[in-house]
Amino acid sequence: ETGVTQTPRHLVMGMTNKKSLKCEQHLGHNAMYWYKQSAKKPLELMFVYNFKEQTENNSVPSRFSPECPNSSHLFLHLHTLQPEDSALYLCASSLVTGGADTQYFGPGTRLTVL
Amino acid sequence: AQKITQTQPGMFVQEKEAVTLDCTYDTSDPSYGLFWYKQPSSGEMIFLIYQGSYDQQNATEGRYSLNFQKARKSANLVISASQLGDSAMYFCAMSPRGIQGAQKLVFGQGTRLTINP
C-alpha cells in the first residue's frame, strides 16, 4: 500500500449503530487530519493530530470520537449519528516541518446515515 | 482568520484550450502557503501545486502553473492544454507558515471544471 488509505470506502449506518472509520498513512508523516465534506460546503476540518497528540478539535459533536494510536493510524469512531452527518469523510497526513506543509489525502469514506 | 474565495462555481472549456481558475485570499499571517487540489468524482483530493508567499517565482508543475499576485492577494491556477481527464472539482487552500506543529488548511468553495471534447 502506498500513500494514504481509508476503509471502508462506503458506509451506510442507522442512527443507533456504532461504527469506525480507519485511516493509514504510508508516507512517514507525523501529523494526521480528519475533514468532513458535505454537499455544497467547503471542506471542514474536524480534528488534527500531531505526533499522536490531538492539537485541534474544531467544535465537533461528541458523537464523533477520534483515536490516534500512532503516527501512522487514525480512527474516527461514530455513534448515534444524525442524518445530517451524511458526508464524505477525508483523512489526510503531512510532515510537520515548520513551513506550510502539504497535506496528502486518502480516497475518503462516503457515509450515509439513515 | 484566513479566508479563500473561489468565485467560479463552474467552468466549461474545450479540450486543448488553456483554462484559468480564480482564487483570492485574505490573511493576516506574514508568511503563508497556497495550495491547489483536484477532486475527481471518485472523491480523493489530489495535491497539484504549492506556492509560498515569499517565493520569488510562480510555481509550475507540468501543465499546472500558479499565477501568484501577492499585492492583489490572488493565486490563480492555470492549466495548459486541457485534457478530458482534467474534468473535476478544483480547490484552492492556504495555511500559515512558520508556526510550530501541524497547521490547518483552509479551503475555498471549489470550482467545477468540465472539459468538452
Q: Residue B87: how many CA atoms within 13 Å on its side-chain side? A: 12
Probe site for chain A from B5, B44, B46, B66 (most A CB atoms < 10 A):
B44
Distance CA B88, CA B72 (A): 26
Query: Residue A1 has what pLDDT?
Result: 61
CA distance B44 to A48: 19
User: What pLDDT shows up at residue A52?
Assistant: 79
Query: Do B102 and A94 count as a contact with CB atoms less than 8 A apart?
Result: yes
Structure confidence by residue, pLDDT tens digits, B49-63: 999 999 989 999 999
Q: Give the mutation candidate from A4, A21, A37 for the B interface (greatest B CB count, under 10 A).
A: A37
Q: What is the pLDDT of residue A2?
A: 78
Where chain B has pLDDT below 70, the residues are: 98
Cα–Cα distances in angstroms (integers) from residue A46 to residues A23, A35, B29, in the given order: 14, 5, 22
- Judged by DSSP in three states, A106 sits in coil
Which residues are registered as beta bridge partners of B74? B24, B69
User: Which residue has 497528540 as its cell numbers?
Assistant: A53
What per-residue confidence (pLDDT) applies to A22? Answer: 98
Residue type, A19: K
Q: What is the pLDDT along chain A (114 residues), one digit of tens a residue?
A: 679 999 999 999 998 889 999 999 999 999 999 999 998 778 999 999 988 788 888 889 999 999 999 999 999 999 999 999 999 999 999 998 877 789 999 999 999 999
Q: Which residue's entry shows cell 483523512?
A: A91
| CB within 8 Å: A100 and B104 | no
